[in-house]
Structure 1
Amino acid sequence: MPRSGIRSFPRTDVIPKKVAAPRRRDADIAYEAIEALISTMVLPPGSPVVEAEVSERVGLGRTPVREALMRLMSIGLIVQQPRRGLLVAPIDLANHLDVILTRRVLERVIASCSARRANAAERQQIADCAERMVAAAARDDLKAYMRADHDLDVANHAACRNASAVTAVVPLVTQCRRFWYAYQHAGEIREGARCHALLAHGIARGSEAEAVQGADALMDYLEAFTRRVIDN
């Protein structure tokens, strides 16, 4: 059994015939690329967002980029100001506590649904992602840690089969990720990995109560992190 205590599941499920994944829309690809630039602080708060420059940077046409920018405006990551055009939105320290408060409710729903609805392969994938986070944190590999964090979110959101909760939580996850990148000096990735492991452990065991406790532990960690940033 792995050191973090996450149960590994034997791969006894029947593997279905592979079906070609549907082609992704350019607007969706553009959205993910621009969102990553913003959430990882490559484009810091206050940066100008010029459609032509962004289009060249992500290697996509201006029409899908324009659609992506409109979506990012709708969730508050990009703002439009008179005479200044589009800008990356500032980080509101006080409002971030409300972001976490709202996200806590949604994460509890998603954790509960995943624990109840995930199949064996999804439980194993979630456990594997958490193990990667724990290992990356142990060697202080921030890049690998954040990649595993993202993969765990994707796996958890797919396993919960609750599209409305996922649609509501994704913008909040992005805001939390950007906040973490901006103030990571106040964070402790080993504690973050431990909390993610608790969540994954509950889902992997199929225990709704344990999964919800893990989600609460993760939100407690993010809230404490935010309060340290505010107090400093």
Structure 2
Amino acid sequence: MSEDQSLAESAYRRLEEDIVTLRLQPGEALTEARLTKELDMGRTPIREAIQRLSWEGLVTIRPRLGIVISELNPGDYTRVMDARHPLEVLLTTSAARLASREERQKLHDCAAAMRDAASANDTIGFLRLDKIFDEIVAVAACNPFAAKAVAPLQTLSRRFWYRYWGESNLIAAATGHLELMQAIESGDETVARTMADDLMRYMRRQAASLVAEVTPPRPV
């Protein structure tokens, strides 16, 4: 990886986390000049990071307004999960079958760190480890097409989860992820498929409950 690519990756990760954890608020406008100063980087890596964030649906680039952080529409979460569910089942099942010894060890280490983060009530730490988990599976599954398709859906899911459940749902979320990681690490495809399906169904129920909560009742 070249220096410019490394800087662009660093800029992307910092901005992605700030958007997911709402340090950068929905609807907030940014400029390249501001980001260049705050991240202490040149314009090229900042522009590359912004283009990637735009492709993932986290920012919108608007003429004259600059860069705008995307809004959080609760109704979008159900659509995100509709698309994410089958891709996650595919990737986790493939990872259970194809992961190398090194990748299984990485999953083991990630699970241990995630357990510690949940015990310490460290929501930000959990989110970082969740992203690491997704990246390990993306490589282990040996399906770059599915991995590329699901990555922005995973990021959007983390953003919704942090906004609406991050302070109250950490243990439950961590438990589902830990069970899935253990299944993939063990190489049991059937259990991994079941655990992935269970976790996605749980998240889809959360999405449905959120929509029901914010949707006004129909007049009688």
Q: Deviations over 1:11-70 (max 9, x none)?
A: xxxxxxxxxxx4451222222222222112111100102111011122211122112212
Q: Which residue matches 1:188?
A: 169
SS across alignment from 1:86: strand
The residue aligned with 2:59 is 78
Match of 1:12 in 2: none
Query: Scaled by the length of structure 1, what TM-score is found?
Result: 0.83
**C-alpha distance in 2, partners of 1:231/1:125?**
38
The change in CA–CA distance for 1:202 and 1:164 in structure 2 (over 3 A counts) is same
Is residue 28 of structure 1 aligned with residue 16 of structure 2? no
* TM-score, normalising length: structure 2: 0.87
Cα 1:48–1:106, aligned 2, differ >3 Å: closer, same or farther? same
1:215 equivalent in alignment to 2:200? no
Letter in 2 for 1:110: L
How far did 1:127 drift? 2.3
1:11 corresponding residue in structure 2: none
Q: Does the residue aligned with 1:122 lie in a helix, a strand or coil?
A: helix
Task: Decide whether the 8 Å contact of 1:129 with 1:148 is kept in 2.
Answer: yes
| CA offset digits 1:95-151 (Å, max 9, x no partner) | 210101111111111101111111122112212212322332233222332232222
Amino acid aligned to 1:59: D
Question: Within the alignment, does 1:145 sit opposite 2:123 as a pair?
Answer: no
| Contiguous gaps of at least 5 residues in structure 2 | 214-220
Does the 8 Å contact 1:130/1:193 carry over to 2? no
Whole-Å separation in 2 of the counterparts to 1:187 and 1:230 = 18
* Aligned residue in 2 for 1:5: none
1:120/1:23 CA distance change after superposition, 3 Å: same
Give the ranges of 4+ consecutive aligned residues of structure 1 lying more than 4 Å apart after TM superposition: none
Code of the aligned partner of 1:96: Y
1:104 aligns with 2:85: yes
Identical aligned residues as a percent: 34
Label 1:152 to 1:34 Cα distance change in 2 as closer, same or farther (>3 A). same
Cα-Cα RMSD: 1.9
**In structure 2, what is the equivalent of residue 130 of structure 1?**
111
In the superposition, relative to structure 1, how do residues 83 and 121 fare at CA in structure 2: closer, same or farther (>3 Å)? closer
Partner of 1:68: 49
Aligned residue for 2:205?
Answer: 224
CA distance in 2, matches of 1:157, 1:221: 21
Alignment partner of 1:157 is 2:134: no
In the other structure, the counterpart of 1:203 is: 184
Moved more, 31-40 or 113-122: 31-40
SS at match of 1:132: helix
Distance 2:9 2:166 in 1: 31
1:166 paired to 2:176: no
What is the rounded CA distance, in whole Å, between the counterparts of 2:58 and 2:79 in structure 1? 16
Partner Cα distance (1:116, 1:166) in 2: 16
What is the aligned partner in structure 1 of residue 216 from structure 2? none
Amino acid at match of 1:206: G
Output the CA distance in 1 between the equivalents of 2:166 and 2:20.
16
